[in-house]
Amino acid sequence: MDRAMSWSGRTVCLLGFLAFASACGEKVDGQIAIELILPCSPSQSDLTGDVELYCIAVEDRYGQEIDSSCSHEIATVELRAAETSTPVFVVVRGLAGDMPVFQGRSAPVSLVSGEEATVAVPVCTVGHFSVVAGDMGGCQPLPVPLWGHTATVFPSGHVLTVGTAYEGADPARAALLLDPYTQRATGLSTPDAVMRSGHAAALLEDGRLLAIGGLTRLGSPADKMAMLRGAEPMIHAYDIAQDYAGQLSFEFIAMAEARPRPSAEVFFGQDVLVASGQRLGPELFRGGEEASGMVEVTGDPFGTAGTPSVFALDEDSGLVIGGAADRLGSLVVDEDDRQANYADLGASLPSWDRPSGFALEDGRVAVIGSGQDASRISIVVIDTDGLVEEIETPSDFPRAGHASTRLPDGRIFVTGGSGGGGSGYETWLVDPVRGRCDPGPEMHAARGLHTAGLLPDGRVVVIGGRDPGAMPGDGPGEASYSVEMIAF
C-alpha cells in the first residue's frame, strides 16, 4: 500500500480558531486551529474573491448547529464553544450576501479540555465544480487513468475504485482508496485478477465489497468475484488515526456464470443478486457462506440480450427494469432456497441496458435510462403498482455512459455521457417530485464511462471517465486522470 498522491493543490494554513471551555464555561483551555484544504481549481483568489463573510460552525452528527461565528476577514474568524462529550463537526462557509460560495465539513473531532489541535476542513465550491485531481490548475493526476471502473462510497467517506478499461494499467494496482479528508489517493497492491472493467460493485452491510464479473484485462468475461476484506472500519465514522489502506486485501469467489456486463443488488444486507444479459438467469451470492449459485425464478424476466437492473425496495423484494422492451416487474427473493418470484407489471418501457434507479421517500422509484433505446424515453418515475410517469428531458440528454447520484434534497444529479448530442461536459438536475429535468453546471472535463457518488458531508465526487468524442486510438485523455467535486 505504498503508492500515494496528494489531491489538493494548496492549503490556507489558518482560517481561525475554535476555542472551547471546560464545563463551567469560564476558562478557555482548549483550542483547535482550522486548516482549509482548497481545490487546485478554482485558485484561492478566485475561490475567495467574491466572499463577503467567513463563518465557522460546530454541528452534531445530525447536522444540527451547536454554535457559530462569522467575520468579514478570513484571519479573524473565531468561535468559542463548550467542551463536548461526543464528537462534533467543524463547518466552514464562505458567503456572498446570503449565497454560499464554498463550504466544507471536517471529519469528527472531539472538543476536549486542555488539548490543542489542528483540524483539516476540505472545502468545495457550491453550485460549480472544483478540480481536486488532474492535469489542470496545479493539480496532481490520479496514478492510473480510470474509465469503465466502479467507485463505491463507504459510510466513512472513503471511495474505493476498482478496475479500469485502460489497457496499459498495471494489474497489480487495480484499486485506489480515496480519502476525502486527508486528500490522498492510495494505490492498493492487488492480485492481477482484480483488474477488470464494465463490472458491477456491491457493498455489504459488514463492509465487504464485491467487484462482480466484467471483462478481464485480456478481454474475456470474468468468472470470479473479487471480494475486498478489511474494510470494516470504513462502515463507521471517519477516524483520522486509523490506517485504512493497510488493512485491505482481495480474495476471489467463483461465479456460477461468467458475466461481462452484470448488474448487482444487495438483499438481506449480505446477499447479492447478480443479473446480466446473454440470456442468462440470475445468480445469488450468499454472504453467510461466501458462495454464489444460480437462482430459480418463477416468471423469469432475465432471459434477455440486454442487462436488466434490480432495485431493492426492502430486504427481500424489489423491481426488475430493462434488458428488453416493456420489461418491468416485481421480484421477491427467497434467501434460503435460492428462488425468486417475478410478477410482470405490464408497463410500456424501452429496452434499457443497466438503467440506474433511486428509491424516493414516497415509495416510488425514479429510473434514469441507459442504452440506445433511451432516446425514446430517458427518465421515468414508477410506483409499486407499475404506474409509469415519464419526465421530459432536453434533446441533449445522454443515452449512455452517464453517471447518476441522488442528492440530499431528493434530486438526482446526472453527469456526462454520450448519444444525446451533448459534448460530455453537461450535467442535469432531475427533480422526480416536480417532474423536471433542468441543465446543471458544466464539468471541467468531458466525461463518459465515469463514476459519481455522494459523500457523507454532501459533496458529490466525479471520478475519471473518457471524452465521449475520443477515437479508439486516442490516449486516455484529461478526464481519466481527474477528480471533480461539487456541493449544492
pLDDT of residue 437: 96
All 3 cell numbers of residue 381? 418515475
pLDDT of residue 13: 38
Would the pLDDT of 183 be above 70? Answer: yes
Does a cis peptide bond (omega within 30 degrees of 0) precede residue 42?
A: yes
Q: Once rounded to an integer, what is the mean pLDDT over residues 164-188?
A: 92
pLDDT of residue 216: 96
More confident residue, 349 or 25: 349
Are the C-beta atoms of 150 and 162 separated by less than 8 Å? yes
pLDDT of residue 11: 44
Q: Indicate the SS3 state at residue 479.
A: helix
Domain regions of the chain by residue span: 3-125, 130-486
| pLDDT confidence bin for 3, thresholds 50/70/90 | very low
Beta strand pairing call for 77-82 and 116-125: unpaired
All 3 cell numbers of residue 413? 444529479
Q: What percent of the chain has pLDDT over 70?
A: 93
| pLDDT confidence bin for 16, thresholds 50/70/90 | low
42-61 tens-digit pLDDT: 988 899 899 999 999 989 98
pLDDT of residue 137: 65
Would the pLDDT of 9 be above 80? Answer: no
Please classify residue 460 by burial: count the beta carbons closer than 10 Å to its beta carbon, then call 0-12 exposed, 13-18 middle and 19+ buried: buried
All 3 cell numbers of residue 475? 490516449
Q: Once rounded to an integer, what is the mean pLDDT over residues 77-84?
A: 77
287-336 tens-digit pLDDT: 999 999 999 998 878 877 789 999 999 999 999 999 888 889 999 999 88
pLDDT of residue 115: 74
Look at 16-25, 72-81, 457-466 and tell me which has the smallest mean pLDDT. 16-25
pLDDT of residue 196: 98
Q: Once rounded to an integer, what is the mean pLDDT over residues 77-100?
A: 87
238-297 tens-digit pLDDT: 998 899 999 999 999 999 999 999 999 999 999 999 998 777 889 999 999 999 999 999
383-409 tens-digit pLDDT: 878 899 999 999 889 999 999 999 999
pLDDT of residue 351: 87
Would the pLDDT of 133 be above 70? Answer: yes
Q: Once rounded to an integer, what is the mean pLDDT over residues 180-192?
A: 90
Tell me the range of 32-36, 95-99, 116-120 where mean pLDDT is highest.
Answer: 95-99
| Cross-strand bridge partners of residue 314 | 317
CA dihedral (442, 444, 449, 453) in degrees, to 10, reads: -70
pLDDT of residue 108: 92
**How many angstroms separate the CA atoms of 240 and 205, rounded?**
22
Look at 25-39, 298-312, 348-362, 451-465 and tell me which has the smallest mean pLDDT. 25-39
pLDDT of residue 373: 61
pLDDT of residue 463: 98
298-329 b/e with 16+ CB inside 10 Å = b? eeebbebebbbbbbbbeeeebbbbbbbeebbb
Would the pLDDT of 5 be above 60? Answer: no
pLDDT of residue 121: 92
Among all chains, which residue has been given the C-alpha cell 454560499? 100
All 3 cell numbers of residue 465? 471517465
pTM: 0.93
Please classify residue 24 by burial: count the beta carbons closer than 10 Å to its beta carbon, then call 0-12 exposed, 13-18 middle and 19+ buried: exposed
> How many Cα atoms within 13 Å fall on the side-chain side of residue 186?
18
What does pLDDT average to over the chain? 89
**How many angstroms separate the CA atoms of 310 and 328, rounded?**
10
> How many Cα atoms within 13 Å fall on the side-chain side of residue 288?
5
Are the C-beta atoms of 315 and 267 separated by less than 8 Å? yes
pLDDT of residue 371: 82
More confident residue, 34 or 289: 289
Would the pLDDT of 26 be above 70? Answer: no
Q: What percent of the chain has pLDDT over 90?
A: 67
Which element (helix H / strand E) includes 95? strand 89-96
- What CATH class has 130-486? mainly beta
All 3 cell numbers of residue 342? 417475478
Are the C-beta atoms of 123 and 15 separated by less than 8 Å? no
